[in-house]
Amino acid sequence: MIRKIFCITSNILILFILITLLNPIVVTKFSKSSINSKTIDSLYKINNINIFYGNKKLFFKHSLYQKSQRYYIPISEFCTKMGAKLIESQEYFKIINKKDSLLISKISNSIKYNNLSKPLRGDILSIGELSYLSISDIEEVFSLITYWDFENSKIIFSPIERVSTSDNKTGENIALIRLEDVVCGEVYLDSTNLYKLKVLGNYMQKSNLKFSVAWIPRYKDPSEDIDNDLLTNINMENSAFINTLDYLIYRDGVIGLHGYTHQHGNERSVTSNELTRDYNTTEEEVTNILKSSIKTANLLNIPYNFFETPHYEATANQQKIIEKYFDYIYEPYVGKWNKTPILSERNHHTFYIPTPLSYIKDYDVAPLIRELNKKNTNILNSFFYHPCKEFDFIDIYSNYQGFILFYYSTKSPLSIISKTLEENNFVTIKITDIK
């Protein structure tokens, strides 16, 4: 990290150094020699992607870049094209547009608006004389949502309403929701489905539904010769997936690691197991899974707050090893099979969070609705849901301006669940709210 120090006198220099050490400017600078080296955390130019605002193609004078599976756009040029005013200082950007104004802090690498402060999903890049923001952060700054058209190598920005939610909602009963088996493979490598997952996240935030996302960091299907390692496969599809995770995080989603590959040997991710009495039983094997998943999250700047073993098949010894790395394990404690949160008896620090209400099988929400209607205070009203099931209830279309819009059916499973939670005076919380 390079810090610009403007020297006027020796006393001012010393003072500035002290201030900078206490408040480091989080701006990553790149020299020309560091560009285009193909590693996940290096910077390189993008030459084959077209950016649109609706049906209007945006032409940029300067190059676009990619770093850590995120695309970057020069913020000054984007502001000009959006009719926004940009004020830049050593410590911040101030962006004033038609709807609102906000600050982007270079010191804390965060966006500040409506009395909220959220960490940026990407870096603030300094390339030459220009500053760049990631598309994920541009979406949040300008109240936009992107559709990634893989077939035509297009990214389409469309306006979307900024949602203001409150963490102060109260209710008689507590519920937890986890979106299960989100992975960069299968249905989540489709342009429309990734957009629908964003729409779902937007619905969750608008409905003040707190949620977690069980993310499988690496998708494998050996029978089809597929191994999608997000740290080595740098492409538009994987960048779109990371952009979608970023969008869910901005919608207050809490990300957790759901195994590493969620499979073993020649079996396929998602349907297979990874940690059982037969698979990966040694401490070295378990640790390798944990460190691999953590490494992927860290290098992609995806904050994680829990671990969940595939199909809850871990042994007590495997859970003991997981406790060394995680404060929350989103499954029952082996041997206790708890239906409320409990602390580990081994380290007295790690919480085990169960899902006593199980999950929605097929599209049948009736069993879950019956359980929620009981308002049982003797268990944690916690369940998980595979978000791809919701996609059948979200229709995507474009208007005459080329903006990508959506219709979300009120008959979707999640809509019905949300209504039931409200009728029974439930308030959803984040897993990290459990202390």
Q: What's the rounded mean pLDDT across residues 294-318?
A: 98
CA angle 114, 23, 90 (to 5 degrees): 70
For each of the domains in the chain, give its residue range(s) and CATH number, in order of start: 24-158 (3.30.457.10), 166-433 (3.20.20.370)
Share of the chain above pLDDT 90, in %: 86
Q: Where are the beta strands (DSSP E) in 249-367?
A: 254-257, 328-329, 342-343, 351-352
Alpha helix (H) ranges present in 329-412?
366-374
pLDDT score at 128: 92
- Residue 404 CB-density burial (10 A; 0-12 exposed, 13-18 middle, 19+ buried): buried
Q: Is the pLDDT of residue 95 over 50?
A: yes
Q: Is the pLDDT of residue 27 over 80?
A: no
Q: What's the rounded mean pLDDT across residues 263-287?
A: 96
Question: pLDDT class for 13, splitting at 50, 70, 90?
Answer: very low
CA atoms within 13 A on the CB side of 141: 30
Q: Is the pLDDT of residue 29 over 60?
A: no
Q: Are 336 and 377 in contact (CB under 8 A)?
A: no
390-413 tens-digit pLDDT: 999 999 999 999 999 999 999 999
143-187 tens-digit pLDDT: 999 999 999 999 999 999 988 766 666 778 999 999 999 999 999
